[in-house]
């Protein structure tokens, strides 16, 4: 297996671009996948999030395209179709292509048609026969139907995040496209998680593929995962402590389960002088990409995101559960013929209900996806402020850190089912699933370590949390949400000409935005943490990234333990358990 990019015998222009990207050594999926793809094999690849799958398919594609161009310079056509489930991912693949074609851009043309640009604008781009088209299945179908996208000369088909393609409701689009593809297309299906839906996709588009399931043990060790049992209100307390005392260092991606909670948490953190960006499906795709860019450039350290593709995954896992339940029921039913017919009626009814539920969710979530495949750079910690509702969503969320062999931490707050609804304020309905998601993860061999904060230490900060939360009223949250949308409208290129014709509306919008700048009452004293509240020795921790636990209390018991240097670096052991 090649250990070095030079061993792939790539075109020198690609080789230089790889060096320019700073890739010194191929990742596991690249070492295994590139030679097979260069050899013309169809591939179904499952490899961990952040393991370099994008380059694993783009590098061989570019090599094969350049070779083909050398053979017949005059041959023109759309040779490659890259299908992704979301617009964000399409734009990201486009950017990676820009980097990899830095020295051969003259010979390889590519377009992304999963954008907001009007069909009329995209049409001429396609009629110019770019070598590579990046798209979502639905955008491809739109242009294929209008005759702008010709599939006659397609030689390579890539489906990235393949398991999401069908669960995003692209079944019909995929079956129309597969019928239009010529024979002998080389297909590469890539995903971090393989599900049932891959099997049907594989049947639709692959010819006897090589299946690669790559377990990168080395990369596994890079992600440290913690689960913190807490309550709704203490989530805010712990977030304050973790972020303000810089127990989490470096860039942080926080996930919540509702759009309103993005703004609540953002306003709450602002009370302590902490700036963050919000990312959700309500914002236009250009703004979303802009936000990821600003974060990647290091202009902001904290993003608060919702992960609405969760809902689609939830339906998938619900289906899996139902399938398991149905299988069990069927086994039992072998001995009870009468009950058997009732069971199948019931499961038919359930399937119908699920299908209609699925249709509704898909309509809402289509082409939006913050989590799948997006490369947030150098994220040191993923904080699940709200636990995702499926194990699969958990895997993809935490996969935004510990990418490309770098270390990372994932911390997830969970509320025990028995506590849901017990305390004020009322907890989110999704919390009911927190523990079942942890159980599912455990079945998959993923066991976040339990982490217990020292109540004595955290309680010292409680009044500050309560003080800040009081200022973040529901009205302030709604105002912030509306203000953000207004700002995005003002920034929108598309609306510029409209406002030029309707200056009064622009004036009203500008006025409303200015009026809502002060969204929540802020209290200057909350910005600083008084020295006396800080746990002893906290400032002595000089780590730049990752999770830094509270130092031990200086009492006799812990003083004894201090002698044991092995334990000193283990965050779990350095906490004094409160329960
Ligand atoms: N050979 C390499 N050496 C160093 N970094 C690499 C290499 N290949 C890719 N990377 C970097 O690794 C990061 C993750 O790559 P990529 O987004 O392709 O991962 P992925 O496997 O597609 O993840 P996901 O499943 O989340 O989509 C990117 O920042 C990319 O630039």
| Region of poorest pLDDT, from 325-334, 370-379, 519-528 | 325-334
In this predicted structure, what is the pLDDT of residue 343?
42
If one residue of 14, 23, 45, 52 were mutated to test the ligand 1 pocket, choosing by the most ligand atoms within 8 A of its CB, it would be 52
Task: Please state, in angstroms and as integers, the Cα–Cα distance from residue 91 to each residue in 65, 412, 454, following that order.
Answer: 21, 29, 44
| Higher pLDDT, residue 373 or 552 | 373
- Structure token pair of residue 507: 């004036």
Each residue of 255-269: pLDDT tens digit? 999 999 999 999 999
| pLDDT at 15 > cutoff 60 | yes
* Contact by Cβ (8 Å): 98, 55: no
Where is average pLDDT lowest: 31-35, 108-112, 186-190, 295-299? 295-299
Beta-strand relationship, 546-547 and 248-249: antiparallel
Confidence check: pLDDT of 188 > 60: yes
> Rounded to whole angstroms, how far apart are CA atoms 213 and 501?
56
Distance CA 565, CA 570 (A): 9
**Phi then psi dihedrals of residue 194, to 5 deg:** -100, 130
442 or 368, higher pLDDT: 442
The phi and psi torsions of 127 (rounded to 5 degrees) equal -70, -15
- The Å distance, Cα 30 to ligand 1 centre, comes to 10
User: How confident is the model over 281-298, as pLDDT tens digits?
Assistant: 888 777 888 888 889 888
Q: How far is the CA of 51 from the centre of ligand 1 (A)?
A: 5
For a pocket test of ligand 1, which of 27, 223, 404, 405 has the largest count of ligand atoms closer than 8 A to its C-beta? Answer: 404
Nearest CA to ligand 1 atom 20: 50
Interval 220-229: pLDDT, tens: 558 999 999 9
Q: Which residues of 225-256 are buried (b: 16+ CB within 10 A; e: fewer)?
A: bbbbbbbbbbbbbbbbbbbbbebbbbbbbbbb
Expressed in angstroms, the distance from the first to the final Cα of the chain is 51
67 three-class SS = helix
Quickly tell me which residue has 């005059």 as its tokens.
74
Secondary structure of residue 280 in the 3-state scheme? coil
58: CB partners within 8 A, 6+ apart: 93, 96, 97, 100
**Residue with the larger pLDDT of the pair 343 and 329:** 329
| pLDDT band at residue 30 under the 50/70/90 scheme | very high
Atom of ligand 1 nearest to the CA of 375: 17
pLDDT score at 509: 53
Nearest residue by C-alpha to atom 25 in ligand 1: 49
Q: What pLDDT shows up at residue 224?
A: 92
Res. 104: pLDDT tops 60: yes
pLDDT per residue as tens digits for the range 67-101: 998 888 778 899 999 999 888 899 999 999 999 99
- What token pair was written down for 547? 């999770």
CA distance 448 to 452: 12
- Scored b (16 or more CB within 10 A) or e, 456-475 reads ebbeebeebbeebbebbeee
- Asked whether residue 32 carries a pLDDT value surpassing 80, the answer given is yes
Arithmetic mean of pLDDT, 447-453 = 91
**For the residues 38-55, what does the mean pLDDT come to?**
93
Q: Do residues 371 and 307 make contact, with C-beta atoms less than 8 angstroms apart?
A: yes
Within 10 angstroms of residue 13's Cβ, the number of other Cβ atoms is: 20
- Contact status, residue 50 vs residue 403, Cβ threshold 8 Å: yes
Which ligand 1 atom is nearest residue 47's CA? 21
Q: Which residues line ligand 1 (CB under 6 A)?
A: 23, 26-27, 30, 47, 49-55, 192, 373, 375, 377, 399, 403-404
pLDDT band at 547 (very low <50, low <70, confident <90, very high): low
Place 342 in a pLDDT band, splitting at 50, 70 and 90: very low
Please state, for a pLDDT cut of 70, what percent of the chain lies above it.
Answer: 70
- Return the pLDDT at 215: 73
The DSSP result for 297-318, as a single string, is TTS-SEEEEE-TTHHHHHHHHH
Give the model's pLDDT for residue 519. Answer: 53
Least confident of 13-27, 236-250, 485-499: 485-499
The residue whose CA is least distant from atom 22 of ligand 1 is 53
Question: 202 falls in which pLDDT band (50, 70, 90)?
Answer: confident
Burial label for 1, CB within 10 Å (0-12, 13-18, 19+), is exposed
Confidence at residue 337, expressed as pLDDT on a 0 to 100 scale: 44
**Which protein residue has the closest C-alpha to ligand 1 atom 2?**
23
Sheet holding 449-450, edge to edge: 277-279, 302-306, 251-256, 379-384, 408-414, 223-229, 449-450
The ipTM of this complex is 0.98
Distance, in Å, from the CA atom of 550 to the CA atom of 247, rounded to the nearest integer, reads 7
C-alpha pair distances (Å), 520 with each of 59, 190, 321: 49, 45, 43
pLDDT at position 505 is 62
Residue 359 CA to residue 466 CA, distance in Å, equals 41
Question: Residue range 156-174: average pLDDT?
Answer: 86
Whole-number Å distance between alpha carbons of 379 and 399: 10
H/E element holding 330?
Answer: helix 310-333
User: Taking all residues of the chain, what is their mean pLDDT, rounded to a whole number?
Assistant: 79
Residue 404: the pLDDT is 77
Mutate which of 54, 213, 392, 402 for ligand 1 pocket (most atoms within 8 A of beta carbon):
54
What pLDDT does residue 495 have? 56
**Paired tokens of 18:** 């790889």
Lowest mean pLDDT among 11-20, 21-30, 334-343, 374-383: 334-343
Q: Does 577 score more than 50 pLDDT?
A: no
Q: Please report the pLDDT score of residue 139 as a whole number.
A: 93
Candidates 153, 154, 168, 163; CA nearest to 202 is: 163
The answer to whether residue 159 scores a pLDDT higher than 50 is yes
Mutation test of ligand 1: which of 20, 159, 403 has the most ligand atoms closer than 8 Å to its C-beta? 403
> What was the pLDDT predicted at 350?
45
From the CA of 543, how far away is ligand 1's center (Å)? 25
Which of ligand 1's atoms lies nearest the C-alpha of 399? 26
CB 547 within 8 A of CB 381: yes
Residues 156, 186 contacting (CB under 8 angstroms): yes
The average pLDDT across 224-243 equals 93
**HEC profile for 162-215?**
HHHHHHCCCHHHHHHHHHHCCCCCEEEEEECCCCHHHHHHHHHHCCCCEEEEEC
CA angle 305, 516, 116 (to 5 degrees): 50
CA 320 to chain centroid = 22
For residues 82 and 422, the model is more confident at 82
pLDDT at 379 exceeding the cut of 60: yes
What pLDDT score was predicted for residue 245? Answer: 85
The pLDDT of 389-412, averaged and rounded, is 88
Give the model's pLDDT for residue 428. Answer: 72
Least confident of 322-336, 367-381, 413-427: 322-336
The residues that bridge with 45 in the sheet, in sequence order, are 190, 212
Banded model confidence at residue 347, pLDDT cuts 50, 70, 90: very low
pLDDT surpasses 90 at 328: no
CA 470 to ligand 1 center in whole angstroms:
42
Mean pLDDT of the region 133-140: 94
CA 404 to ligand 1: nearest atom? 12
The whole-number average pLDDT for the span 353-371 is 47
**pLDDT at site 497:** 62
Please tell me the distance from the alpha carbon of residue 409 to that of residue 553, in angstroms, as a whole number: 24
User: In this model, does residue 510 exceed pLDDT 50?
Assistant: yes
Ligand 1 atom, smallest distance to 30 CA: 1
Q: b or e along 180-213 (b: 16 or more beta carbons within 10 Å of the residue's beta carbon)? A: ebeeebbbbbbbbbbbebbeebbebbbeebeebe
| Tokens, residue 185 | 């297309």
Helices and strands: H and E segment counts in the chain: 24, 16
Q: What's the rounded mean pLDDT across residues 5-18? A: 95
| 292, 294, 298, 304: CA torsion to nearest 10 | -50
The yes-or-no verdict on residue 402 having pLDDT over 60 is: yes
Name which of 360, 248, 266 is nearest 314 in CA terms.
Answer: 360
So what's the pLDDT on residue 576? 40
Q: What is the structure's pLDDT at 364? A: 38
pLDDT at 204: 85
């Amino acid at each position: 297996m090649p250990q070095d990019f030079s061993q792939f015998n790539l075109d020198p222009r690609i080789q230089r671009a790889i060096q320019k990207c700073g890739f010194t050594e191929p990742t596991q999926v690249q070492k295994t996948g590139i030679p097979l793809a260069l050899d013309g094999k169809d591939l179904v690849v499952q490899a961990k999030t952040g393991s370099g799958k994008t380059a694993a398919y783009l590098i061989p594609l570019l090599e094969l395209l350049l070779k083909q161009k050398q053979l017949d310079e005059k041959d023109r056509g759309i040779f490659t179709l890259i299908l992704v489930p979301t617009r964000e991912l399409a734009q990201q693949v486009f950017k990676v292509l820009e980097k990899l074609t830095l020295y051969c851009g003259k010979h390889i043309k590519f377009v992304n048609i999963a954008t907001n640009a009007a069909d009329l604008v995209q049409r001429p781009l396609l009629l110019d026969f770019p070598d590579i088209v990046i798209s979502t299945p639905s955008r491809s179908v739109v242009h294929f139907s209008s005759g702008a996208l010709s599939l006659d000369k397609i030689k390579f088909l890539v489906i990235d995040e393949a398991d999401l393609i069908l669960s995003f409701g692209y079944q019909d689009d995929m079956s129309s496209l597969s019928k239009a593809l010529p024979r002998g297309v080389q297909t590469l299906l890539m995903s971090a998680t393989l599900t049932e839906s891959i099997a049907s996709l594989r049947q639709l588009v692959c010819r006897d593929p090589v299946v690669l399931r790559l377990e990168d043990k080395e990369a596994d060790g890079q992600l440290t995962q913690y689960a913190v049992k807490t309550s709704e209100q203490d989530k805010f307390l712990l977030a304050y402590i973790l972020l303000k005392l810089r127990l989490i260092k470096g860039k942080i991606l926080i996930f919540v389960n509702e759009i309103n909670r993005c703004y609540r948490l953002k306003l709450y953190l602002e009370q302590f002088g902490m700036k963050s960006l919000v990312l959700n499906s309500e914002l236009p795709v250009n703004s979303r990409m802009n936000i990821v860019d600003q974060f990647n450039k290091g202009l902001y350290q904290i993003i608060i995101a919702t992960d609405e593709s969760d809902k689609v995954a939830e339906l998938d896992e619900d289906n899996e559960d139902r399938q398991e339940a149905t299988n069990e029921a069927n086994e039992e039913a072998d001995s009870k013929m009468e009950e058997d017919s009732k069971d199948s009626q019931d499961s038919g009814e359930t399937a119908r209900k699920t299908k209609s539920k699925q249709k509704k969710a898909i309509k809402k979530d289509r082409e939006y996806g913050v989590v799948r495949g997006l490369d947030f750079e150098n994220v040191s910690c993923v904080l699940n402020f709200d636990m995702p509702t499926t194990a699969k969503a958990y895997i993809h969320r935490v996969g935004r850190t510990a990418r490309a062999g770098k270390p990372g931490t994932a911390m997830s707050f969970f509320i025990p089912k028995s506590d849901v609804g017990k305390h004020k304020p009322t907890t989110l309905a999704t919390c009911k699933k927190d523990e079942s998601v942890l159980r599912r993860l455990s079945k998959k061999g993923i066991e976040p370590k339990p982490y217990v904060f020292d109540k004595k230490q955290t309680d010292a900060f409680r009044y500050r949390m309560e003080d800040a939360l009081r200022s973040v009223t529901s009205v302030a949250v709604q105002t912030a949400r509306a203000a953000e949308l207004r700002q995005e409208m003002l920034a929108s290129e598309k609306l510029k000409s409209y406002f030029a014709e309707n200056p009064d509306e622009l004036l009203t919008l500008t006025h409303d935005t200015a009026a809502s700048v002060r969204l929540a009452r802020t209290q200057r004293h909350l910005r600083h943490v008084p020295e006396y509240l800080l746990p002893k020795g906290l400032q002595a921790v000089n780590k730049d990234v990752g999770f830094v636990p509270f130092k031990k209390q200086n009492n006799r018991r812990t003083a004894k333990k201090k002698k044991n240097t092995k334990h000193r670096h283990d965050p779990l052991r350095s906490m004094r358990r409160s329960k």
